[in-house]
Structure 1
Amino acid sequence: MKISVALIDDEPFALVRIKKLLQVDEEIQIIGEASGVEDAVKVMKFKRPEIIFLDVKMPDGTGFDILTRLDPDYKPYVIFITAFDNYALKAFEYNAIDYVLKPFENSRFFKVVERAKEFITLSRSSRITEQISALINQEDNVPYEDEKCQIKIIERGWDIFIDHQDILMIESNGNYSKIHSGNKFYLYKKTMKELESELNNSEFLRIHRSYIINLNLIKEIKYLGKNEYAFEMMNSSKITSGRSFSSKIKSYLSFKIGSK
C-alpha cells in the first residue's frame, strides 16, 4: 500500500522540485497539491493524506492555520519546508516530525522522507495489531456448535469421530492431513485442498500451504510485516502465515472488524 502525500506551498518552483524528488520513490503517491490555506483545507478534508509537506507562509494565511482546521480525528504526519527559521519551535508544538529550511540539499530531503515512512510503517502496524486484538477479544466470537459436523477417522480398526469445533488445526502431510485435536493428532486420508473445500469457511481459514486453523481457537495474532502474520493457538503452538495467503487473512480480518 502506497503512502499518500500532499504538497502545500505557494512557490511554484518549490512545488515542482519537491514533486520531482518524491516521484523517484515508488512507495510515495502524491494525491493533492495546494498553494493557499483554503485549497489546502479542502485537500486535507477530502483526501486525508498521511504525510503533508507544508510551507509556513502563504498568501491567505499560514501552515498553522491549516493545521488548526483539521478534523480532530485526522492526524497526518507534517513536514515543514520553509525559508523561515523562526517558526521551528511552534512547528514542533504542532507535532511536526521535521522542519526543513530552504534551500535544502537533496540528501537532507530524502533523509526526512525515510524518517516519515518509518513513522507511517509503525503507525500502520500498530493499528493492525490493535484491530486484531479487538477481534480476538470480541464477545461474539463463539465456537461453532453443530455437533453433526464431524470427521470420521479409522485408527487401528476403531472409528474415531472428531467434532469440527475440537479441531485446533490441520497440517499437510503429503496425500494425508494431520488433524490436531487436544494434545493428539490423527492422520486423515484427504488432502488439504479437499478438507479446505469441506470445512466451514467462517470457522476455518487456510493461512499457509501447510496449515488450516480453527478461527475460534486462536489465542493471539500479530502482524509481522511484509504480508506475514504470526498465529498463536490455544495450545501455545505458533504458526507463521504464508505471504500468498495474505489476501485471505486480510479479508477475514476486515470482515470481522467491520462487523463489530
Structure 2
Amino acid sequence: MQKITVVIADDEKEARDGIKLLLEGDAEIDIVGMCKNGIEAIKTINEIQPNLVFMDIQMPGVNGLEVINSLNKSTLPAVIFVTAYDQYSLKAFELHAMDYLLKPFTDDRFFKALNHAKSIIKQNQLEKVNANLLNLLDYYQKEQNEENSGRIIKETTQGNKLINNRLIIKSDGKIYFLDLEKIIWVQAYDYYVKIHIANKFYLVRESLKQMEELLPGEKFVRIHKSSIVNIDHIIELEPHFNNEFIIKLNNGEELKSSRNFRDKLKGVFNI
C-alpha cells in the first residue's frame, strides 16, 4: 500500500520532533519534510506535494494560514492545524469544520485527528474538505488588516542577501516570491513603495532607502529621490537639462533622473 506523505511545519523544534515521534510508529506514514518557518513550508509543500501537513498557526514572519493561502489551490493537501490557545483561530476552525490540535494535546487527541485525516485521504474526500479550507482562507483574508499585509519578509534575509535572488513579500494574506530580474523599478509612494513588475505592481510598507540597502547595487541604481531602477530594463538614456537623463524602460515607461543621483547613474554605465 502506498504510504501517506507528511510534512511537519512548526517554528519550535520540540514541537516538530514531538509530532515526528508520534508519527514514526505508523507504518502508513512517510515523513517527507520538516520545516521550521513559513517560507520553508511553502517551498517544501509546493515541491513535494504531500498528502498531509501538520501546520503550526503562530509561526513568526509567515503564519500557517498565510502558508496555505500561498499554495496552489488545485493541489492542496489535507491539513491539520496546530495552535496554542487562540480564541479567534479556534472560532474560525470550528466555523469552517477544520481539524486542529490545541497545544498541549494528548496522544489520544493527536491520533484521533490523524486517523480522521487518513480516512479522508484514503477515501479521496479531499475535495469536500478543501472546500471548507478555502472558505476558511477567504474568512481569514477578509479579517486581515492593513498592518499585517504589504510588507517585505525580512526574516528570510541574512546580511541583506536575498533567498535565491528573490524578494519575498507578504500581501493580502499571501506570500509572493519576486524574481529580482523581473523587478523593473521601485517607486516611493507616500509611506510605501511600489515594486513594478511587467503590467502590475506590489505595494509594500517600506522606505526607498531601505529598498536601496536591500537590493543588490550591481543591478539596481537609485536615479531619483523617488525611484530605483533595474539597469537590465533600461533601453535608452536621453540627456536632459542640468545633467539629468530621461530613462526609457523596456516596458514603455519613461523616468527622469535627478542631478543629485547622476554620479551613481554615470558610474554604472561609465559615462
TM class by smaller structure: 0.3 to 0.5
TM-score normalised per structure 2: 0.43
Instruction: Give the number of the structure whose alpha-carbon radius of gyration is greater.
Output: 1
Structure 1 length as normaliser, TM-score? 0.45
